[in-house]
Chain A
């Protein structure tokens, strides 16, 4: 077998997380229960081990030029300390991965990629034509990553830090913050639909930081597994690679056109995506609610009047909203809000209705 373990494995044992094989990593799916953990993150805070995520450094004078060619978003006007999300596409417009780009300096960028895609992404990046002096380095083993998510995240983390967290805006980071005396990269980002932080630290310091946050947080913070991470991200309508986007689903079909800057002079996938946009999309991603009884799950067939029109990309019971929602990739003519569709659940059609704004949105202060 040989499952990989994160630097926080001893913590998952100590706190009795229910361990599973998650894409080759031995990680907790839940501690006290997915719904309880989910609700804690919506109301207070939750702590997650996300050390399996991959990290890549891009360095060199012409890093910006490289990133602007490699990725669909435009990084030209980014400031130091800013973070930008982007798909990374193949020539045909399908998606290699989606990732975050953190700008440390004009010659130094820090990329955060999906765990399961780390090797594939690196192979893809290395295949590209590099401008002179640009280097990419897989630094995944040099970092553990902890996510602290939920409305009380700042209040819990602040006393442990030597920086004023209120100064970090959403999708910004500080490259060097002392947390419990340990030097970390700290970003105001997350994958839950709540306010929160992601902390990148040396692997050997991870357990100390984990314990320090738990101690400070007390009953305001819940240990959370990957189960709640998935329900929180989907309830907030956030995409997951392999579901809403993959090699066969372009960012335009997935509704992420705002991260594809077709006006850039050139980038990988530009021709295919421009052509797709010009011709019009044959299928689109749209959210839906279930009107009958049943829970929509990934890969279930979607029909309209008995004819297949697409499939469910993600779906499930939404703990905060207390109902079942899904996303589906269906023929564009049906991908408009208010359309009745059928989800095929165990060979039986269950009524659903496409919509807009069905997902959870937090009340921003």
Chain B
């Protein structure tokens, strides 16, 4: 299966990506993740200003067949959520790297060092197959 992986992003082993913009982490799910989930029909977003530790569940993604927790790879405070997903959750299937799910203001940038780069993530996905 050909899975799309973008250069310049950080990746977690839970198949989330992080796009860093100063202290803000834009977080979404990878092409591999959306393919595993299948047709996404519902996204439960976290409340604004809520605080999370890295790897904590911040919301839920439901596909036709399954309910999955969505995690944050970094600690911090939610400063924005992608409300468009309320009405068009399937855009996570069609544009996984264009549609972020949340923006988190990071409290510890060093956590990014624990994440994978594109090359490492590609190897990781291959092993998951």
Contact = CB atoms under 8 A, between A and B. Distances in A.
Nearest to A35: B39
A364 interface: no
Interface residues of B, number: 11
A34 B64 contact: yes
Nearest to B39: A35
A33 B41 contact: no
7 smallest CB-CB distances across A and B, nearest first, come from A317-B41, A35-B39, A34-B64, A295-B42, A227-B65, A295-B62, A33-B39
Chain B contact residues: helix, strand, loop or mixed: strand
Interface in A303-320: 316-317, 319
A30 B62 contact: no
Interface size grouping (class) on chain A: 10 to 19
A231 interface: yes
Given A317-B64, A346-B60, 10 more contacts: A30-B38, A34-B38, A227-B38, A227-B64, A293-B86, A295-B41, A316-B64, A317-B42, A319-B64, A346-B44
A353 interface: no
Interface string B41-64: 110100000000000000010101
B125 interface: no
B88 interface: no
Interface in B64-108: 64-65, 67, 86
Contacts of B67: 295, 297
A34 B39 CA distance: 7
A294 B42 contact: yes
A35 B90 CA distance: 11
B42 A35 contact: no
Contacts of B39: 33-35
A246 to B, nearest CB: 21
A29 interface: yes
A231 B64 contact: yes
Contacts of A319: 64
B60 A35 contact: no
Contacts of A346: 44, 60
Interface in A25-57: 29-30, 33-35
Contacts of B65: 29, 34, 227, 230
Interface in A119-157: none
12 contacts: A34-B38, A34-B39, A35-B39, A227-B38, A230-B65, A231-B64, A293-B42, A293-B86, A294-B44, A297-B67, A317-B62, A317-B64
